[in-house]
Amino acid sequence: MLAILGGGLAIALVIIAVGFAVGGGDGGGEGGGSGAPVPVQLSEFAISGSLDVAPGGTLAVTNEGTQVHNLVVDGDGQTADLSAGESEDLAVDVPAGEYVVYCAIPGHREAGMEATMTVAEGVEVAAGAETQSDGASTESSGGVDMGHANLTPEEAEKLDTAMTTSFSREVS
């Protein structure tokens, strides 16, 4: 019995050692071209964070809202639908240029969850970056703050009606 347990432990240690040798240790290995993931936040109804990324880089997408959101990179891919508080890394496998990013949940894009991501060589991101290098806000819609965080009840109802109408058209 001890021989079986000892053999199982030895196999487990070999697997762990191979994992570290291949690069699964401290996460300090170089990724595909860009270094640290670029933090991006999703909320009602905005996309914020630095949307400047190097080719082959990664977006670290977090849903800071209360509704389900996702992030689509036009022509490249998307995250899963993320519940409140969930995160997912999204690889950016496109050449240098500007790309539209948006939330594909019905009605969310129309409510302002669309922005422009710039892919460029030499982009470096500071941890927790929330603005572009020129200090401008990177809220949704290509740098325009949609102001959804401070809606009056009447404005929220109007936005909700517009989203419901948009959703109804998409479902029909």
pLDDT digits (tens, 9 = 90+) for 59-78: 999 999 999 999 999 988 99
Given a cut of 70, is residue 80 above it in pLDDT?
yes
Phi, psi for residue 90 in degrees, rounded to 5: -125, 115
Question: pTM of the entire structure?
Answer: 0.57
Given a cut of 90, is residue 111 above it in pLDDT?
yes
Q: What is the pLDDT of residue 12?
A: 43
Q: Which domains does the chain have, with CATH numbers?
A: 38-171 (2.60.40.420)
- Strands, E assignment, 3-161: 38-43, 46-49, 52-53, 58-63, 72-73, 77-78, 87-91, 97-102, 114-119
Alpha-carbon span 8 to 16, nearest angstrom? 12
Higher per-residue confidence, 1 vs 161: 161
Alpha-carbon span 43 to 148, nearest angstrom? 9
Given a cut of 80, is residue 1 above it in pLDDT?
no
* Average pLDDT taken over every residue of the chain: 72
Q: What is the pLDDT of residue 164?
A: 65
- The model's pLDDT over 114-154, given as tens digits with 9 standing for 90+, comes to 999 999 988 765 444 443 323 333 333 333 334 455 566 66
Q: Is 153 helix (H, G, I), strand (E, B) or coil?
A: helix
Q: What is the pLDDT of residue 166?
A: 59
